[in-house]
Structure 1
Amino acid sequence: MLEGAKCVWSTTLSTSLHWEAYTLKSLPSHFQTDYLVELNLPDSSVETLWSGTQDLRKLRHLNLNRCRQLAEIPDLSKAKSLETLCLCDCESLVELHSSLWHLNDLVKLSMRNCTKLKNLPRNISLKSLKTLSLDGCTSIAEFPFVSDNVEELGLSWTAIEVVPPSIECLSKLRDLRLSQCKRLKNLPDTLGGLKSLRHLWLGNSPNVTIFPVLGNGIETLALNGTAIEEVPSTIGDKLSLVFLDMSECQRLQNFPPGLSNLKNLKFLYLRGCTNITELPQIAGEMRKLDLYGTSIKKYGFLSEDEALVMRNRDMDFLKGFLTRYVRNYKKNRNSR
């Protein structure tokens, strides 16, 4: 057994090895992998795991997070049962072994903040893959073509410029992250065909100028720091929307009336939207309404002095306050 390692043996001879901050540049040449099911070496100094091809038929989980000296991934062609591969913050990793793209049992591939990684295959057709995290891979410039089984796709802080219309093929996609993509242009209208999409993150992608076309099942929408000027009237169809962040959208104009249809909306952030002059017609019981830095002067039932105080502070409305606002709004609307 390797000294200092935590190794768990079951009656079936399957093993799990966890060795945090392993200090050598590779595992010993006599290290046996035949019955290895789980290998965890986070925060280690390894540059390579081993040479050649190892018998990894039992291996299901491989965690090399924060192995900042790791320069290469070994041949994984024998790891047919591998389900999760974690390579976050492997800052020296430039490319991945081609065997990786033939692991059809792989469910999760996480490579966040691999800043030198750039050479991904054009078509990642891993049929079992559900989660692909490339957030912070600043050298990635092309949108990856992935299996239509993918449910979570993280591409924030990448150099991607274009999301292809073929994204409509990702029929099971639930979570799409594209925040801090400084080169990213507007998203294709085919995004609206993704009926499973629930969460879209586009914050601080400054070249996005058009409100994205989305299905009505969207729940979380972060568009803060974009150059969007107008919210379409179809916003009123997003009845599942709970969270909407458009803070620091300095070109954004007033909202259409359709916002009042959103009974489930709990969080609305418009901080720093200097062109907003009218209070959005909200409905339901809000938890957070942030209007700091807008140009709103009238707040419904509030006096002008009260409105001025509200406009110049962080508007973290309490539930009771918002309930009172909504009741007054509905009362005034019904009396017309």
Structure 2
Amino acid sequence: MSLLKGVTHNLSKLSTRGTPNRSRSAGTNLILSSEETAEALFLPKARAFCNNTDHSKNEAEVIKHDSKPGKTRTVFDFKSYMLHKIKSVNQALDAAVPIKEPIKFHEAMRYSLLSEGKRVCPVLCIAACELVGGQESTAMPAACGMEMIHAMCMMHDDLPCMDNDDLRRGKLSHHKVFGENVTVLTGYSLVALAFEHMTMATKGVHPKTMVRAVGELARLIGPEGAAAGQVLDLLCGGKSGTGLEELKYIHLHKTADFAEAAAIVGAMLGGASEEEINRLRKFSQCLGLLFQVVDDILDVTKSSEQLGKTAGRDLLANKLTYQR
């Protein structure tokens, strides 16, 4: 717990100033305490569940009432919420990419997409939508799109020309099963399907809002976002003279931009105000950076069996990481 508190405290000091070729509004500096984060994201969600008498039994289970003499306290059960949403996302992904002709190709699409994962970005997308008054059903196509794009990134990251890793999520990497050529084409198809599914399956959202959400997602995964972070990550591997500014740029883009895209798109689809969008942008950037710090630490403290991927890979590749 003390480690996570320390990481959170250090993250609150980070800002985007000094990162090359990236402009962010003045309201998005990464200064947010853990208390503000919890209050901003989870407490309104708990209150919304309590005030909504139409939620399902599974959703109601995320709210617990801790009663003491003279006082009743509402507690948001984060673990139950995550498990419930992960189940919903997995069902939606299964339906979005069914087995059909050409069977081998669709099996390749489903291999990484439906493998056991954390589903952080799709759940964040749904949570952000619900937080501002939207419904899970409204955000679900976009949430599935997030996971499709994430699956593509993992598949391409593991290729020999990138990180050259044989394991992902506890099983053989995509290219070890289907070959490098099929992995590249499958990744392209998943990105195309992500945008198609998001735009065609989403209901009840104004076209202008959808266009804005699609543009935001494209920007955050493209040459101003995750792709730029990945390129610099590769270029800095084994290079001397790199430091904190380059590290901040890499992780802000390679990892935090995915979290930002999930939260902002979900919020937009849910009808968020500009103030709510800006607050969620700040929160998601902090969350993404925190995720990367923890991931860097786990890479050198856990085994391959525990991680579901090759442990110590970043260290062997001499990549720029927080512990380095």
User: Do the structures match in fold with TM over 0.5?
Assistant: no
Q: Which has the higher contact order (CA 8 A, sep 6+)?
A: 2
- Select the structure that is richer in strand: 1
Larger radius of gyration: 1
| TM-score, normalisation: structure 2 | 0.21
- Select the structure that is richer in helix: 2
| TM-score, normalisation: structure 1 | 0.21
